[in-house]
Amino acid sequence: MKFASVRLVTEQFEALLAFYQQLSGVEPARLAEGFAQVHFDGVLLAIAAQELVTRFNAGAAVAGANRSAILEFEVDDVAAVGERLARDNVEIVMPATRMPWGNISLLLRDPDGNLVNIFSRPAV
| Residue 26 near residue 44, CB atoms below 8 Å | no
67-124 and 1-59 share a CATH fold: no
* pLDDT of 88: 86
pLDDT above 90: residue 75: yes
Q: Kindly indicate the confidence band of residue 124, based on its pLDDT and cuts at 50, 70 and 90.
A: low
Which residues are CB-neighbours of 17 under 8 A, at least 6 positions away? 28, 36, 38, 47
**Mean pLDDT value of segment 97-111:** 95
Higher pLDDT, 38 or 3: 38
CATH code: domain 67-124 is 3.10.180.10
Closest to 45 (Cα-Cα) out of 83, 80, 71, 69: 71
**Mean pLDDT value of segment 98-107:** 96
* pLDDT of 48: 95
| Residue 31 near residue 14, CB atoms below 8 Å | no
Domain boundaries, the chain: 1-59, 67-124
Q: Which CATH class is domain 1-59?
A: alpha beta
For residue 91, the one-letter residue type is E
For residue 82, the one-letter residue type is G
